[in-house]
Amino acid sequence: MSRTTMIRLAAMPETPPLIDEPAGAATILMVEDNADVRVMGETLLVDAGFVVHTAGDAAEALAMVEAGLAFDLLFTDIVMPGDLDGVGLSAEVARLRPGTPVLLTTGWADRVRDHAGQRAEPDLIAKPYRQTDLVRKIRLLLDRGAQGA
């Protein structure tokens, strides 16, 4: 980890345990090209009780999906290097596994909302995110998927 990231992470306030919203054993496929952000996100999710598989880009994640990796929700960065970004990955996951909830993340949330226009706003969490906000958003998406099943 870079020194800047370590200082930034150490400066984050501690988050109270999420006793009222246990994560259960849900499995998350997290896709993030920035290694420091990926480790931080994975740590937040594991500490909240989720099982987490990570990938460094959309191509790696898609290969995992095509190989049969079992997961309950895709959590992916939007902007990543390569031919496939997070939006394209989410479309492929929707094609291969219809009904799988997807949570997108980006440091450019305002731009995504501006481009969405009149279309439905995607399920999105802005970076930097806090554990409580991330877990709450994931639980909502998982609960919505369970109700629609």
pLDDT in tens, 71-87: 999 999 999 999 999 99
Alpha carbon distance 76, 54 (integer Å): 10
Q: How confident is the model at residue 148 (pLDDT cuts 50, 70, 90)?
A: low
**pTM for this entry:** 0.77
**Would you mind telling me the total number of residues written for the chain in this entry?**
149
Contact 53, 71 (CB under 8 A): yes
Contact 50, 23 (CB under 8 A): yes
pLDDT at 15: 42
Alpha carbon distance 25, 52 (integer Å): 10
User: Which segment of 40-44, 54-58, 99-103, 112-116 scores lowest on mean pLDDT?
Assistant: 112-116
Average pLDDT of the chain? 81
Q: How confident is the model at residue 121 (pLDDT cuts 50, 70, 90)?
A: very low
Q: Across residues 111-121, what is the average pLDDT?
A: 45
